[in-house]
Structure 1
Amino acid sequence: MSTTVTSNEQRLTLGTSVPPFTAHAISVSLPTWDDNVGYERGEKRVVDAMVSGYPRFFIHLSIQKLARICEQKFGVQDERCLLCPTRKIAEHCRAFMIDRSTKAGSPVPVRLVQFLITPEDEPQSSSSGVELHIVLFPGDAFPLAKQFWQHTGICISSRLAERCLSMLPEEGSEVNPPMSPFSRLPCKGANRHYSAKTFGKSPPVSPALSQIPTSNETRDDLSRDQVNYVEERYGRNLPFESAAAAKRAMRRRIAGVLVRDSPSDWSTAGGHETELGPSTRGVEDVTEDDVFLYSTGMAAIWNAHQLALSVRPVAKSICFGFPYADTLKVLEKWGPGCYFLGHGLDEDIDELEALLEKESASSTNPPLLSLFTEFPSNPLLRCPDLPRLCSLADKYDFLIVVDETIGNFVNVEVLPYADIVVSSLSKVFSGDSNVMGGSLILNPRGRHYAALKSHMVANFEDSYYDEDAIYMERNSRDFKRRIEIIDANALAVCSFLRSRSLADPAPPRIPSSRRCSTQTVPRAYQRSAYGRVRRVVLTDVHVNRGIARVLRHAPVPQRAEPGHELHAGVSVRDPGALCGVGMGGGYGIEEGLVRVSVGMEDTEVLLRGFEKALAAAEAVVQDSESPVEI
């Protein structure tokens, strides 16, 4: 059943999680055009209303609470902190902050604290404890630390923070504050549900910061027991102790080697007796050992760049095509920098070839480190000429890294053209909007595979929190089935939008848009015909008013499953239809650009919703005194 959210209801949902009442939701409700603009501008009205958000932009409330505790315990002189799951990541954070602050004029002092948290009734060496790494720095350097958090995506997750909070003393209890850099804290008042057998199971709703449950809250305890029983005994989640098998199952799905992976046999997908076959990724000898999991998609991208810097001669990289913003930031801020060919068109390849020829003439080293590109790009949905780029990579000896997130590997086949393929698993691979994840695949047919694989085997650090992996494994079991539904819906919506645009052979008298993309991927790279993301460019007349009305009426559900409430937001993480807005010109991103990410809703419900949304946009055009571009 679908219902339209009223204006008053929209105001009430601003800043809350999408889906609602989800403890670890990764999408946030921005229900109106003004809310979206206000969020981009950092308006106090919007920022203060947010109790949830995308985890790399909004630090989860549980992480905020844990950080405050660490600052009170270990900080001096108003220091603030960033929390990391491993020492290596904490050292990367310190190095980044010192490097960037030094280049800006003066190095910021940064220190690290290792904090081992263990349950009260277990020894400090217990495997059920958590080793937390705290990066401490002056409070005014927090924006620099936040850059590291956002660009890399490798700091702690909200589930790991809740695990830590469950073992710490209750708020208000006396805590001895040792200030040594390596402190260990036996816990008081630990939540009994995080025992050796059941630790890490999150409740369905995040508690308020002042309401972390304690052992005497019998009713809440019972609710948690029931949740755990349903999650594990009825097969929704693997038990926490099976995290290694869950990760193995996901790596096999991503590698495309599972012969059978259906609801009847998913529980064996990570087992040692599972039947495996040649990869369906276009390179048959890919195996699960060529797939590496990360806590976010950006973590996969950041690590791909770190891998290139570690294995190849140092040189600038190329960012080819208009990318997701943080990809460009990673290439700019780590290593010697990058060239940006933001249009991603064939003429940009001509420019790239001229650049390579010039640089190679003046040096014996390869002129480039790597080329990063998206396939297709987000939000323009442009697909670079991968065979031509591969030819240049062979000639001038650089790596090609392809981000396949928008296309996804059911729809596109890009691994044969890349040394490394990265993807955000938080998007359509995950069937629910409650967990982050990323993947990196090495192409065993790539020129530099041996060096890349050797480095990964020697240096890969698994920092993907086990409970997050368990949720991602569950969410991804029906990935291929969902893609079939999403693709069919995307084609229906695109055909409808095109019929209401100037691109149609017989355009309507008052068109709502100039054009709508009808196919995102050239046939040479297709595994199936369509992906989920579409782009619509509204007519030029009163664009902002038109977009505001589209967002107000577009069919955007509040849950990541078909047939739930309609809502507006900005994301491509839910498998529900979501609309995003192009915020201005440059590199082909026009002011009237609306991005549509189609999901699993009932097709007729989607079409009725878009009919209403476009009618509202067309009313803006009809009422305008300005001439309409025909």
Structure 2
Amino acid sequence: MTALYPASNHLPGSALPFFTPHAISVSLPTWADNVGYEEGEKRIFDVMVSGYPRFFIHSSIGKLARICEQKFGAPNEQCLLYPSKKIADRCRSFILDRASLASTPTHARLVQYHICPEDAPLPSSQPTVELHIVLFPTDAWPIAKQFWQHTGLGISSRLADYCLSLLSPESPNSPVLSPTSTRAPFKALNKHYSVKRAPQSPSFGSALPPSLNPQDVLSKDQSTYLEERYGRNLPVSAGSYAKRAMRRRIAGVLVRDNWEDCPQGPCAGAHDVEVGPSHRGVRDVTEDDVYLFSTGMSAIWNSHQLVLGARSPAKSVCFGFPYTDTLKVLQKWGPGCHFFGHGFDSDIDTLETMIKQELSANPSALPIAALFVELPSNPLLRSANISLLRALADKYDFLIVIDETIGNLVNVDVLQHADIVVSSLSKIFSGDANAMGGRWVSYHPRNLDLMLATLSLILNPQGRHYATLKAYMSANYEDTYFDEDAVFMERNSRNFIQRIHIINENALAVCEYLRSRSVSGGTSIPSPAIKEVFYPKYITPETYLSFKLPEGGFGGLFSLTFTSFAASKAFFDNMPFQKGPSLGTNFTLACPYTVLAHYLELEWAAEYGVEEGLVRISVGMEKREGLLEGFKVALRAAEAAM
């Protein structure tokens, strides 16, 4: 792989990775492109063919939604599509509740659509799909999209493709689709990735960039060949094997995980594979303690739902400045949350003082239900003192939910300090940026009886609450992870440990160079452009090192702040790397994070150190010499802009 990309490849709106039908990022190569994205500029929206799935409706999902609207909808109704009735019910309730709170009462209804192959009698040998449709008035769309965005529970683009393959376009029952729609883009109505005016553009970003040559667009067969990599994938029917392989991989119980020895499928998913005690720091963890979800946010949302269902009503705590939707989940579901946005050690003392005050006012009440924290945080790469938080949780009986997406299970050991660990598999576990997924692992080695009564995730037969735990999980856990997505994710994850080590070394080399020319690094150059390098080696390093595994590194993500806004823009515009949302990709990927995540709340974010000019960079697997040269090019431009 090379580090430098020709400028001609930097096409706004194109999929990242290029020519990937189910890509989860989108190219926004200049600062102006990112602002244009937030402002809803026509030049950006008219050429978008991809986007992060919770913020951009994939063209296949859009096509399927229009079919459902024409088949089941009334005039001025729109819909969202979900894989289960339970999720659709949750969406409907959210729409009604939020509309009522906003004093704009509305209605929403559910339709179950059983899709089977055309003209095939039931039962059919070809799998069918139960699609659950939430229909609502067009003016309720801003509320409905919040549920889609915050929870990550909507159908995947691969599931939409499969549904479309079952709906024969020649069937007399299939509706005729108009070439355009008056629906505003999904992206345009997101609060955090929002616009100040709604653009007039195709409804789901289905247009191709005009700058692409026709011969550059891959056929369906070509794209399938590219994604499947010479047949390395399991057949889609082997989804259960793929999921079992991932759960074992995440639990750390595989004695051996060498897929090349199993040409018909990964050894990791076989029924007779050799497993042993977990090497994740808690030996008792098994694959049964790992639960897979369709996205990382759905794992976070479900972990919060578990807290709400298993604990007495009480607010949660968001500790440290988190990824934006995590905070919104805690605020919009349940009693709400207390926000400690800095995540300093001194905030732990403030938290205990608050708990004591709550208990003084009502000794019998639960002061807080759970504390959510990232290790390290995104985008400031700050590590909270989880040891102190764990002691506080044990003292006052609340749960700790740790998001280890940025640290990842190869670099840090947090499981022994958590009740629930969540992570986005769409990031470095996958690396290829062509599949979504999330999971949680639940375990706490101390006070098992208390943990079993409250978490209902560790199926410990020796616990006195085992029967309650089993009944709760049987009644509440749904596997809605589409098999084909799981197959791709399993394939991508087979070499994730090796990839992480390469990325660790690359990121360290890049950060060492950039910090040597920064204000925080004590540079002697007259007018430095870089103010701070946010990287776990430099930000709360003692805390991070206390959780770092012996063979682990500092991860592949870092952020930069600059001594002037002009330097920020010049650095970003001149980076010869891919630029778009997401992180943890095998290729280097950068974005002006605060512009994308907090465009309408820049002053609020700045209060917690997340400056408007902050640039976040996820380092990839390119050759190190090329990476360093690319960052030198960007830095020279930034220093010239001073």
Q: Structure 2 length normalisation: TM-score?
A: 0.84
Q: Distance in 1 between matches of 2:524 and 2:64?
A: 57
Q: Distance in 1 between matches of 2:518 and 2:205?
A: 47
Tell me if 1:590 matches 2:611.
yes
Tell me if 1:475 matches 2:492.
yes
Q: Which residue matches 1:119? A: 117
C-alpha distance after superposition, 1:156-201 (max 9, x if no partner): 0000101111111316x53278xxxxxxxxxxxxxxxxxxxxxxxx
Q: Which residue matches 1:401? A: 401
* C-alpha distance 102-505 of structure 1, shift in aligned 2 (>3 A): closer
Question: Does the residue aligned with 1:236 lie in a helix, a strand or coil?
Answer: coil
Contact 1:346-1:385 within 8 A present in 2 as well: yes
CA shift, 1:5, in A, is: 5.0
Q: Distance in 2 between matches of 1:312 and 1:318?
A: 14
Q: Distance in 2 between matches of 1:471 and 1:416?
A: 30
Q: State how many pairs are aligned.
A: 567
Q: Which moved more, 1:503-512 or 1:249-258?
A: 503-512
Q: Which residue matches 1:201? A: none
* C-alpha distance 549-210 of structure 1, shift in aligned 2 (>3 A): closer
Q: Which residue matches 1:25? A: 23
Q: Distance in 2 between matches of 1:360 and 1:40?
A: 44
Q: Which residue matches 1:37? A: 35
Q: Distance in 2 between matches of 1:525 and 1:223?
A: 45
Q: Which residue matches 2:50? A: 52
Question: Does the residue aligned with 2:400 lie in a helix, a strand or coil?
Answer: strand
CA shift, 1:314, in A, is: 1.0
Q: Which moved more, 1:1-10 or 1:476-485?
A: 1-10
Tell me if 1:524 matches 2:526.
no
Q: Which moved more, 1:439-448 or 1:279-288?
A: 439-448
**Alignment of structure 1 residues 603-622 onto 2, 5 Å:** 603-621=624-642
Question: Does the residue aligned with 1:70 lie in a helix, a strand or coil?
Answer: helix
Q: Which residue matches 1:536? A: 560
Q: Distance in 1 between matches of 2:299 and 2:336?
A: 19
Q: Which residue matches 1:390? A: 390
C-alpha distance after superposition, 1:109-156 (max 9, x if no partner): 111000001112432343611110000011111111110000000010
**Alignment of structure 1 residues 537-576 onto 2, 5 Å:** 537-539=561-563, 541=564, 543=565, 545-556=566-577, 567-576=578-587
Tell me if 1:484 matches 2:484.
no
* C-alpha distance 208-124 of structure 1, shift in aligned 2 (>3 A): farther
Q: Distance in 1 between matches of 2:3 and 2:301?
A: 40
**Alignment of structure 1 residues 294-313 onto 2, 5 Å:** 294-313=293-312
Question: Does the residue aligned with 1:269 lie in a helix, a strand or coil?
Answer: helix
Q: Which residue matches 1:162? A: 161
* C-alpha distance 117-515 of structure 1, shift in aligned 2 (>3 A): same
* C-alpha distance 87-223 of structure 1, shift in aligned 2 (>3 A): closer
Q: Distance in 2 between matches of 1:555 and 1:280?
A: 39
Tell me if 1:422 matches 2:418.
no
Contact 1:263-1:478 within 8 A present in 2 as well: no
Contact 1:255-1:286 within 8 A present in 2 as well: yes
Contact 1:431-1:478 within 8 A present in 2 as well: no
Q: Which residue matches 2:379? A: 379
Q: Which residue matches 1:504? A: 521
**Alignment of structure 1 residues 254-269 onto 2, 5 Å:** 254-265=250-261, 267-269=266-268
Q: What amino acid sits opposite 2:249 in the alignment?
A: R
Q: Distance in 2 between matches of 1:55 and 1:81?
A: 16
Q: Structure 1 length normalisation: TM-score?
A: 0.86
**Alignment of structure 1 residues 280-295 onto 2, 5 Å:** 280-295=279-294
Q: Distance in 2 between matches of 1:347 and 1:57?
A: 35
CA shift, 1:594, in A, is: 1.8
Question: Does the residue aligned with 2:269 lie in a helix, a strand or coil?
Answer: coil
Q: Distance in 1 between matches of 2:351 and 2:444?
A: 26
Q: Which moved more, 1:468-477 or 1:394-403?
A: 394-403
Contact 1:418-1:446 within 8 A present in 2 as well: no
Q: What amino acid sits opposite 1:66 in the alignment?
A: L
CA shift, 1:51, in A, is: 1.5
**Alignment of structure 1 residues 87-486 onto 2, 5 Å:** 87-126=85-124, 128-170=127-169, 173-175=171-173, 224=221, 227=224, 231=228, 235-265=231-261, 267-363=266-362, 364-445=364-445, 447=447, 448-451=450-453, 452-453=456-457, 454=469, 455-486=472-503
Q: Distance in 2 between matches of 1:229 and 1:601?
A: 20
CA shift, 1:6, in A, is: 5.7
Contact 1:298-1:327 within 8 A present in 2 as well: yes
Contact 2:296-2:424 within 8 A present in 1 as well: yes
Q: Which moved more, 1:278-287 or 1:470-479?
A: 278-287
* C-alpha distance 95-265 of structure 1, shift in aligned 2 (>3 A): farther
* C-alpha distance 135-312 of structure 1, shift in aligned 2 (>3 A): same
Q: Which residue matches 1:182? A: none
* C-alpha distance 8-288 of structure 1, shift in aligned 2 (>3 A): closer
Q: Distance in 1 between matches of 2:164 and 2:104?
A: 35
C-alpha distance after superposition, 1:55-78 (max 9, x if no partner): 000010010010001000100122
Question: Does the residue aligned with 2:371 lie in a helix, a strand or coil?
Answer: strand
Q: What amino acid sits opposite 2:319 in the alignment?
A: F
Question: Does the residue aligned with 1:67 lie in a helix, a strand or coil?
Answer: helix
Q: Distance in 2 between matches of 1:3 and 1:306?
A: 42
CA shift, 1:46, in A, is: 2.0
Q: What amino acid sits opposite 1:402 in the alignment?
A: I
Q: Distance in 2 between matches of 1:100 and 1:222?
A: 43
CA shift, 1:576, in A, is: 1.6
Question: Does the residue aligned with 1:484 lie in a helix, a strand or coil?
Answer: helix
Q: Which residue matches 2:196? A: none
* C-alpha distance 586-601 of structure 1, shift in aligned 2 (>3 A): same
Q: Distance in 1 between matches of 2:521 and 2:82?
A: 52
Segments of 4+ moved more than 6 angstroms: 207-211, 220-223
Q: Distance in 1 between matches of 2:365 and 2:386?
A: 23
Q: What amino acid sits opposite 1:611 in the alignment?
A: K
Note the residue ranges of structure 2 that are not aligned, 5 or more in a row.
176-203, 209-216, 458-468, 596-601
Q: Distance in 2 between matches of 1:176 and 1:238?
A: 32
* C-alpha distance 208-46 of structure 1, shift in aligned 2 (>3 A): closer
Q: Distance in 2 between matches of 1:360 and 1:42?
A: 48
C-alpha distance after superposition, 1:304-357 (max 9, x if no partner): 000011111111111111011111110111101111111111121111111100
* C-alpha distance 384-23 of structure 1, shift in aligned 2 (>3 A): same
CA shift, 1:548, in A, is: 2.1
C-alpha distance after superposition, 1:206-230 (max 9, x if no partner): x99799xxxxxxxx99974995799
Q: What amino acid sits opposite 2:559 in the alignment?
A: R
Q: Which moved more, 1:140-149 or 1:261-270?
A: 261-270
Note the residue ranges of structure 1 that are not aligned, 5 or more in a row.
178-206, 212-219, 557-566, 622-630
* C-alpha distance 208-403 of structure 1, shift in aligned 2 (>3 A): closer
Contact 2:253-2:277 within 8 A present in 1 as well: yes
Contact 2:47-2:207 within 8 A present in 1 as well: no
Contact 2:318-2:372 within 8 A present in 1 as well: yes
Q: What amino acid sits opposite 1:305 in the alignment?
A: H
Contact 2:3-2:622 within 8 A present in 1 as well: no
Q: What amino acid sits opposite 1:490 in the alignment?
A: A
Contact 2:561-2:611 within 8 A present in 1 as well: yes
Q: Distance in 2 between matches of 1:140 and 1:386?
A: 44
* C-alpha distance 236-405 of structure 1, shift in aligned 2 (>3 A): same
Q: Distance in 1 between matches of 2:29 and 2:427?
A: 20
Q: Which moved more, 1:454-463 or 1:75-84?
A: 454-463
CA shift, 1:489, in A, is: 0.3
Percent identical: 55
* C-alpha distance 208-99 of structure 1, shift in aligned 2 (>3 A): closer
